[in-house]
């Protein structure tokens, strides 16, 4: 099943339907989950469903034809407000939330959501890129979250609850979106014309971590070339952290001047490493590789060089997952690279040949 063409999140739809049927729909939500899994599309379609005047609200089945639906899709509905971070800004500008200095609390999202619905239904506001709320922006939302206007729904779309201040988290109902299954990612890539070849879509989806966005990022041939370099280094029994850190830093810098592009590339590199160690754990535990496993040569050499120590390989995988979390929390990339690879070196040091 795919609710309104959105794959993989029917359980979330059911959650909202039950809440509306019980008249227990919250006023503020935090949508959290990896990038590229459909959270923004879900929020916009939910807004359309709540604003549609053609059917019962609890059905969450927008007709797509009434004036409210048409305006919601065009983002011109007077009771729908959507704000997002401009591409040239590091944070969501305060002006988008509460107006500029001359019009504080007389313009902006918080002002508009407090007004009476113009079409007789609800007011719905969506804050995209909620991960980029700074302290000032988050604090400007507190009054709206503490005293929500009647018949209003505010949705914050982000990646992780840890990216939000506790004052925001405590005032929003958390809705977790799970990563998509690999076959769904491949289906979306082909159906939307993002990848022409079905086999390529499957390959990207296997490594995309349940995210269409991340799978698309992996279409860069340069990433796969660097993955070969990375795995050649990781298959050694001792991680040479200084040499590998220089290689990773250089590859990340080559992504361009934009911090977001560098952060995405670093995340891809660390995710590759996490995949490597997770496959190594399975091999050391005696699990046969899958037919479509393309880790074979590296894992064969790594498992031969390592002693039969599943715990050390698992610890390396955990350090990779820790590094991914730090990246998602907007930690300094250079610091992440150094601490991540130092941790891998410390774990692998006891299993180096000279120290066995």
pLDDT in tens, 94-116: 999 999 989 888 899 999 999 99
Mean predicted confidence (pLDDT) in 80-94: 91
Which distant-in-sequence residues (6+ apart) come within 8 Å of 194 by Cβ? 188, 212, 216
pLDDT value of position 207: 85
- pLDDT band for 270, please (50, 70, 90 cuts): very high
pLDDT value of position 291: 62
Rounded to the nearest integer, the mean pLDDT of the chain is 91
What CATH class has 2-176?
alpha beta
Report which of residues 260 and 339 the model is more confident about: 339
Domain boundary assignment for the chain: 2-176, 220-355
Q: Tens digit of pLDDT for each residue in 309-318? A: 889 999 999 9
pLDDT value of position 1: 59
pLDDT value of position 352: 47
For residue 33, pLDDT beyond 60: yes
Mean predicted confidence (pLDDT) in 72-81: 96
For residue 337, pLDDT beyond 60: yes
Predicted model pTM = 0.83
């Amino acid at each position: 099943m795919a609710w309104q063409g959105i794959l993989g999140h029917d359980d979330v739809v059911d959650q909202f339907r039950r809440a509306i049927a019980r008249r227990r729909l919250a006023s503020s939500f935090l949508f959290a989950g990896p990038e590229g899994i459909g959270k923004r599309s879900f929020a916009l379609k939910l807004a359309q469903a709540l604003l549609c005047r053609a059917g019962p609200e609890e059905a969450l089945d927008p007709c797509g034809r009434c004036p409210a639906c048409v305006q919601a899709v065009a983002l011109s509905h007077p009771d729908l407000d959507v704000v997002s971070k401009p591409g040239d800004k590091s944070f969501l500008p305060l002006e988008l939330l509460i107006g500029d200095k001359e019009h504080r609390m007389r313009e902006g999202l918080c002002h508009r959501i407090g007004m009476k619905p113009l079409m007789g239904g609800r007011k719905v506001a969506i804050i995209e890129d909620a991960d980029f709320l700074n302290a000032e922006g988050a604090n400007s939302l507190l009054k709206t979250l503490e005293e929500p206007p009647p018949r209003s729904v505010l949705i914050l779309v982000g990646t992780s609850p840890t990216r939000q201040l506790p004052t925001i988290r405590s005032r929003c109902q958390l809705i977790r979106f799970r990563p998509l299954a690999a076959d769904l990612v491949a289906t979306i890539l082909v159906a939307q014309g993002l990848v022409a070849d079905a086999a390529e879509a499957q390959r990207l989806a296997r490594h995309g971590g349940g995210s269409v966005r991340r799978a698309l990022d992996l279409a860069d041939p340069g990433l796969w070339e660097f993955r070969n370099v990375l795995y050649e280094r990781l298959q050694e029994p001792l991680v040479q952290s200084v040499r590998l850190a220089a290689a990773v830093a250089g590859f990340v810098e080559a992504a361009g001047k934009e911090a977001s592009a560098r952060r995405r590339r670093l995340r891809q590199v660390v995710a590759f490493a996490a995949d490597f160690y997770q496959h190594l754990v399975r091999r050391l535990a005696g699990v046969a590789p899958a037919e479509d496993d393309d880790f074979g040569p590296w894992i064969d050499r790594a498992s031969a060089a390592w002693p039969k120590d599943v715990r050390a390989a698992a610890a390396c995988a955990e350090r990779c997952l820790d590094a991914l979390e730090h990246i998602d929390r907007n930690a300094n990339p250079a610091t992440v690279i150094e601490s991540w690879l130092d941790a891998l070196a410390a774990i692998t040091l006891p299993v180096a040949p000279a120290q066995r």
